[in-house]
Structure 1
Amino acid sequence: MAILFRSTPAATARWRPLLRELMPEHEFRFWPEIGDPADIEYAMVWQPPPGLLASLPKLRLICGLGAGIDHLLRDPDLPRHVPIMRLVDPYMTDAMSEYVALSVLRLHRQDLDYLAQQRAQSWEEREQKNACERPVGILGFGTLGQDAGRKLKALGFPVAGWSRTAKEVAGFVTYAGGDGLDALLARSEILVCLLPLTTATEGILNAGLFARLPRGAALVNAGRGGHLVEADLIPVLDSGQLSGAVLDVFREEPLPKGHPFWSHPRIIVTPHIAAETHPPTAAAIIGDAIRRFAKGEPVANLVDLATGY
């Protein structure tokens, strides 16, 4: 039995010694040097080339190396009979919550305005709300969304969450479905997107959605670039319907030089760093999952291909 590892060259260099240390009982094949494809029963992958997984005739389990699995579902030859495990790592959850809290605070405390004043050498105080007066809505209220919500609530923000299907989460107002989305948007002065990218959520951040937010609301997108209709964002920022946006994910990454997001005064760009995979903890989680799967024991966080997460 062998395990295929496929990621970026830089990530592979970081993972290689950890895998050999934490999972010495397994043989690893590091792409593109995979040897005989029939030897491989497990795959640990990030953005594998289309057709790679289908070329492994004895593949038993696919382990994604990131929180999302949309990079796998884009493969037209994905072997859909093979279970896929989504990586849920408390380290990454904490990192995402830190990013969301930082972004919400920057928008809440009017950082974009004060940075512009600094560049203009202008000393001007602005009226400031308290956190308890700034409702935050979170699209995607699973593990990541709930943890971010708890961190924001501890800072004093009123937080509500929206998910595709109804769920009760202690201490939070929650919404679901189309009517629930309208209700969440109507109350959200800062909207945070942490949704998985699926056919149902592609392009959800669009002109129609922005129009349903209170005037002057702000956006944080740390989900996926495909959630945002990029051409719809700048007009609502220029009109004042939105007051600002913090964007960590983009349809094309790296964000191309010359893209208007780089220079827009109401946009903060970060290079997809909200919750990077942490090899030491992720390797331990995936290693445990493979051992459990090999023994026929239940494995957590298997993907439902019907929903895409």
Structure 2
Amino acid sequence: MGILVLTDPLPSEIYAAALREIAGDVPVWTASDQPDPDRVEAILAWKLGAGVLSRYPNLRVLASIGAGADGLLGIPDLPADVVITRAVDPGQAIEIAQYVVASVLYFTRDLATYVRQQAVAAFRRLPVRSAERCRVGVLGMGNVGQAIARAFLPLGYPVSGWNRSPRAVSGVNVVSGAQALPEFMASVDILVCALPLTPSTRGILDRRNLGALPKGAIVLNVGRGQHLVEDDLRALLDEGHLGGAVLDVFSEEPPAPESWFWKHEKVLATPHIASTSSLPLVAGQCLDALHRTRQGLTQPNAVDRELGY
């Protein structure tokens, strides 16, 4: 009994190699190995479609290679008795916070304009936008959201947060619940989405909510592409209501070559690189989840199917 790695579209062999280094006598396969389906006890994956899991009658663990498990929870024939785990890497929250701070400065300190000026040898100074005029609001105050919020505090930025349920975060004014969302949106100049993807957060960045932001606001999405209604964002950018957007995640990855994301002058698009999970950590947590399942132990990284994370 062993572990099958199905991480497509990401290369499965690199995850399999990391697992084999620590797996001992636990076999590790990729799809190309064509293992006996009866011997597959755990699957390491990112996103799977219908009909895959039914091939493995003895499956006990389904482990995500990332912090989110929405690509696995959405499987229509997901067995009720399979344990679902996610990769929990404290370093990822710091990496995402670094990415968000850099992206905010890209817009608020006019770095794109200075790059264009450099290309034509123009030496023109622009007014500096004060931190007081860059009110940062973070949607989702889990580990990632809190790391983002805390990264801005020493820089003098006013920071607030919104969470679906009440949560106290030192130095950050956090509001919660659907009723508080419109007022929250109206109070921030920089909106960062760091929510998990659940049925209640899918499409939360729509015209109504984004339209409640002040004119000229910047939107950053480091959650999931499905949080954003992409046509609504484009309309608000083109109408001049929004000043810019930073997108590291998309509903379809990668976006098509003809997608408007690539060429829009108000969009900074990056290929889902705000953070990357450590291969040894992902492998270690997957193997640990399998051992815990075999021994009937609790799973510290288990996903709550009802909550979606």
TM bucket, shorter chain:
over 0.9
> CA offset at residue 144 of structure 1?
1.0
2:217 aligned with 1:224, yes or no? no
> CA offset at residue 192 of structure 1?
0.5
> Could you tell me which residue of structure 1 aligns to residue 234 of structure 2?
234
> Could you tell me which residue of structure 1 aligns to residue 251 of structure 2?
251
Q: With the length of structure 2 as denominator, give the TM-score of the two structures.
A: 0.92
**Secondary structure of 1:72's match?**
helix
> CA offset at residue 238 of structure 1?
2.3
**Secondary structure of 1:5's match?**
strand
Runs of 4+ in 1 over 6 A off after TM superposition: none
- Report the aligned-residue RMSD: 1.9
2:194 aligned with 1:194, yes or no? yes
Instruction: Identify the range of structure 1 (112-121 vs 292-301) with the bigger mean alpha-carbon deviation.
Output: 112-121
Work out whether residues 42 and 62 of structure 1, in 8 Å CA contact, stay in contact via their aligned partners in 2. Answer: yes
> Could you tell me which residue of structure 2 aligns to residue 43 of structure 1?
43
Q: Distance in 2 between matches of 1:76 and 1:9?
A: 20
> Could you tell me which residue of structure 1 aligns to residue 86 of structure 2?
86
1:103 and 1:240, CA in 2 relative to 1: closer, same or farther beyond 3 A? Answer: same
- Give the alignment of 1:295-306 within 5 angstroms: 295-306=295-306
2:20 aligned with 1:20, yes or no? yes
Work out whether residues 139 and 194 of structure 1, in 8 Å CA contact, stay in contact via their aligned partners in 2. Answer: yes
> CA offset at residue 122 of structure 1?
4.3
- Give the alignment of 1:150-299 within 5 angstroms: 150-299=150-299
Work out whether residues 8 and 45 of structure 2, in 8 Å CA contact, stay in contact via their aligned partners in 1. Answer: no
Percent identity, aligned pairs only?
39
**Secondary structure of 2:234's match?**
helix
Work out whether residues 245 and 267 of structure 1, in 8 Å CA contact, stay in contact via their aligned partners in 2. Answer: yes
> CA offset at residue 282 of structure 1?
1.9
Work out whether residues 4 and 34 of structure 1, in 8 Å CA contact, stay in contact via their aligned partners in 2. Answer: no
Counterpart AA for 1:236: L
**Secondary structure of 1:166's match?**
coil
Q: Distance in 2 between matches of 1:182 and 1:212?
A: 6
Q: Distance in 2 between matches of 1:132 and 1:20?
A: 51
> CA offset at residue 156 of structure 1?
2.5
1:25 and 1:94, CA in 2 relative to 1: closer, same or farther beyond 3 A? Answer: farther
Counterpart AA for 1:95: E
- Give the alignment of 1:86-165 within 5 angstroms: 86-118=86-118, 122-165=122-165
Instruction: Identify the range of structure 1 (124-133 vs 60-69) with the bigger mean alpha-carbon deviation.
Output: 124-133
Residues 21-43 of structure 1: CA deviation (Å, up to 9, x unaligned): 12223111212434222222222
Work out whether residues 220 and 247 of structure 1, in 8 Å CA contact, stay in contact via their aligned partners in 2. Answer: yes
**Secondary structure of 1:149's match?**
helix
Q: Distance in 2 between matches of 1:114 and 1:234?
A: 24
Counterpart AA for 1:28: V
